[in-house]
Structure 1
Amino acid sequence: MKSILVVGHGSRSKDALEVFNKVLENFKLKVEDNVEGCFMELCAPNIPDTIDIMYKNGARNIVVVPYFLFCGIHIKDDIPGILKEVKAKYVDLKISLARPIGYNKIIADILKENSEGELTCI
């Protein structure tokens, strides 16, 4: 069975971390695989530490799912570089990087819904 690692960007904002954790908990309800969450930067846990724990708990096939909208530098360079360093420690570990959220017609529905609500971050 595969394990899934959801990687958020990371933030110093408590609200941002709460949203990430809500998304992670909801995602866990939708899959049967083991799911963990971590951050690329700015807060803990980070990617290497989380993969180390997953490996120690028996994970040998990890799909890294970026909770990012676009295929920018973090997805093209930063995260793959981190994963390559971690993979070098474990010869029997398979790590795959899934695509970011990207385009999905549901995004337009979310934007429409949010534009009709009240502003909460100002």
Structure 2
Amino acid sequence: MKAILLVGHGSRAKEAKEVFIKVSRELSNRIDKKVYIAFMENANPSIEDAFLKMKEEGIEEVDVLPYFLFEGIHIKEDIPDILRNMKDEFDIEIVFKRPIEYHSLIVDILIDRLKGEGICI
């Protein structure tokens, strides 16, 4: 079986985790694979916890999809190091996908945000 692991940075803010879960549910509704979630820090489950659950549920292959805008240190070093350990420990085939980076839809989102209300500082 093949699955998706959506990895976010994590935040202490409850609302941030709620939005991330909403994104993961919508992704799950649009694709034909089970979607698991994990966070780098400040929230649970961790990547390690997600892999444990995937292994328990019989997942043999996983596409790891980072919910990050850019290739920072987490994308270049931290997550790949964790994934190498998970591959060795759980014998799961892993493909690490690219972060969001530039996409024209991001500009559409920004234009949409300009149309909405803001907070006066």
TM range, smaller chain: over 0.9
Aligned to 2:26: 26
Within-5 A mapping of 1:38-117: 38-91=38-91, 93-117=92-116
SS in structure 2 at match of 1:96: strand
Q: Which letter maps to 1:112?
A: I
Q: Cα distance, 1:47 vs. partner?
A: 0.1
How many residue pairs get aligned? The number is 120
Q: Cα distance, 1:90 vs. partner?
A: 2.5
Structure 2 spans left out of the alignment, 5+ residues? none
Q: What RMSD in Å do the two structures reach over aligned CA positions?
A: 1.3
SS in structure 1 at match of 2:110: helix
Q: Give the distance between the partners of 1:20 and 1:113, measured in 2 at CA.
A: 20
Aligned-pair identity in percent equals 46
Q: Is 2:17–2:43's contact at 8 Å kept on the other side of the alignment?
A: no
Q: Give the distance between the partners of 1:18 and 1:105, measured in 2 at CA.
A: 25
Q: Give the distance between the partners of 1:84 and 1:119, measured in 2 at CA.
A: 42
Q: Cα distance, 1:4 vs. partner?
A: 0.4
SS in structure 2 at match of 1:102: coil
Q: Give the distance between the partners of 1:5 and 1:14, measured in 2 at CA.
A: 20
1:84-103: CA deviation from partner (whole Å, max 9, x where unpaired):
11112133x10110001111
Structure 1 spans left out of the alignment, 5+ residues? none
Q: Give the distance between the partners of 2:94 and 2:52, measured in 1 at CA.
A: 12
Q: Which letter maps to 1:76?
A: K
